[in-house]
Amino acid sequence: MRLLEYEAKNLLSACGMPIPRGKVFAVNELQAIAAPIVLKSQVPIGGRGKLGGVQIVRHQSDLESVARKMFNLKIKGFLPSKLLAEEILDISREFYFSLNINRQTAGIELLAHTSGGVEIESQDTADFFRRDIVNEKFEALADELADYLDIADKTFLLQDIIENAYRCFIDNDCLLLEINPLILTKDSKLIAGDAKITVDDAAAFRHLDWRFEDNSTEHNFIILNRDGAVATIANGAGLAMTTVDAVTASGLKPANFLDIGGTATSDKVLDCFRQITTLDNIKVIIINIFGGIVRCDDIARAIIDAQRQIPNLPKLAIRLSGNRESEARQLLAQYNLPLFDSLEAILEDIS
């Protein structure tokens, strides 16, 4: 489950992470907001800044018109029901900081870069700071990170950032915790300027207090390796992780983690294919679905639609098992798309 920015920041703040002063509001609560302010569209998608989803409003006379335009601005198919109004920070530098699950080591990996913000995805993967967090040795890790970011005098602040982020990651069963940018202000504070968190919905039974907004049209899509040649689609975080781990164990490089959830529709699956095609090096897409609530024939129709609608779709390796599997097999056979009986058979075929 991908959280909205304000939800992610609430989790971070509860674990001691500094965040900007702000207020989330609906369109009928505009009168409570005062400029100067930064307005941020609360949609579960990246790239808002380039699409008009982040606006600085310096004068009160401009606030209502700008906010109303943002409430009516659809971003990649999502229309916000809320905006986040935050203080304007006096920025000295912007960094990238994230925690994710390293599938190869089965540990939590810290990833950082000296240049945060909207252009982070254009950075060379070899230039990133990468370390697994081992035995919670935060002090040594903070020393290394401070040297990498060239802010040696902020080591103690960085140690707090790492410890608080790690606690948030563990306590909330996160799959991804990203702060981009992590802002160094001109008065020498480190603040989470923006935040993205994906939590494991399968762990919801441990978190009865979770009251996140319903972003069910969004998928748990995480880029693991932009140089990876194998993309994966699965339903349920457990099966998605198993699929990624199996690809890695076979000696191949998985490019992504993608959990379509337990109630995926044909349209949602088609959108998954579109997301995957934004990655440049994909040679094969593994579709590994167990049909329970999800119907295999619905997935099959989405696969057929993807072949029709998406030019140059990579090779597809498909396993559909469970609810309406035989109907799915018949549909796919009409388009010369065979089903594999197991994930192992897929990996043997593509290795």
Using one digit for the tens of pLDDT, what is the confidence trace for 252-305?
999 998 888 765 667 778 888 888 988 889 999 999 998 877 889 989 999 999
Q: Which residues contact 155 (CB under 8 A, 6 or more apart)?
A: 142, 143, 146
- Indicate which residue of 5, 86, 163, 178 is catalytic: 178
**Which pLDDT tens digit goes with each residue over 304-327?**
999 888 888 999 999 999 989 999
Q: Please give the CATH architecture assigned to the domain spanning 220-350.
A: 3-Layer(aba) Sandwich (3.40)
Q: Give the sign of the dihedral formed by CA 236, CA 238, CA 239, CA 240.
A: positive
Let me know if 148 is a catalytic residue.
Answer: no
Domain layout of the chain by residue ranges = 21-86, 91-201, 220-350
pTM over 0.95: no
Let me know if 166 is a catalytic residue.
Answer: no
pLDDT at 218 (0 to 100): 47
**Which pLDDT tens digit goes with each residue over 206-264?**
888 888 875 544 457 888 888 899 999 998 777 888 899 999 999 999 999 888 876 56
- Indicate which residue of 96, 163, 218, 325 is catalytic: 96
- Comparing 50-54, 66-70, 100-104, 112-116, which segment has the lowest mean pLDDT? 100-104
- For residues 141-162, give the mean pLDDT: 97
CA 48 to CA 348: how far, in whole Å? 40
pLDDT at 292 (0 to 100): 76
CATH number at 21-86 = 3.30.1490.20
pLDDT at 19 (0 to 100): 98
pLDDT at 86 (0 to 100): 98
- For residues 168-182, give the mean pLDDT: 95
Greater confidence (111 vs 225) lies with 111
3-state secondary structure of 223: strand
Q: Give strand ranges (E) for 15-89.
A: 22-25, 37-41, 54-57, 83-86
Class of domain 91-201: alpha beta
